[in-house]
Amino acid sequence: MITSTRNFLAPLELVYKAWADSEYLIQWWGPSGFTNTFQEHDLKPGGKWIFVMHGPDGKDYPNECVFTEVKPYEFLAWDHFPNPRFMVNVYFEELEDGNAKVIFIMIFNTEKEADSLRSFILEKNEENFVKLDAVLLKMSSEK
């Protein structure tokens, strides 16, 4: 299991919208330098999220996910495949100051598999959150 946590300077409603609305998600998903093409983003249990991440190295990285649980403003879960195969749990919490906290958990088949990817994934998840911060700032100014 690999866990990344971030407190965002934005309200829960806005943070959740950035994850749930593909118009915003496509702008920040993926590490620094990556862009996306979404073929499908059906945010409901059993719905699919199919996309290609375009790396700064010019390579394309196809991804397919199936949402397993959706509790708006509280929790998202999905299965990711083909490689590496893992599950994701995302918890959303409202903080006392009115901002939001996200706990992003990636669950692999074995701890050995998680350990082999941990340093790389933790760094890339942080890059992802930096991009999310920028989108949240932009969303806040649009309100």
pLDDT tens column, 18-56? 999 999 999 999 999 999 999 999 999 999 999 999 999
Q: How far is CA 1 from CA 18, 33, 81, 143, in A?
A: 24, 25, 16, 36
Please give the pLDDT value at position 51.
Answer: 95
pLDDT at 58 over 80: yes
Q: What pLDDT, in 10s, does the model give residues 86-115?
A: 999 999 999 999 999 999 999 998 888 888
Asked if 122 and 105 touch (Cβ cutoff 8 Å), the reply is no
Q: Does domain 2-33+66-142 have CATH number 3.30.530.20?
A: yes
Give the residues across from 86 on adjacent strands: 80, 108
Domain positions in the chain: 2-33+66-142
> Residue 51: how many CB atoms within 10 A of its CB?
22
Q: Where are the alpha helices (DSSP H) in 21-83?
A: 22-28
pTM for this model (two decimals): 0.90
Is the N-terminal amide bond of 82 cis, ω within 30° of 0? yes
Per-residue pLDDT reduced to its tens digit, 109-142: 888 888 888 888 898 999 999 999 999 999 998 8
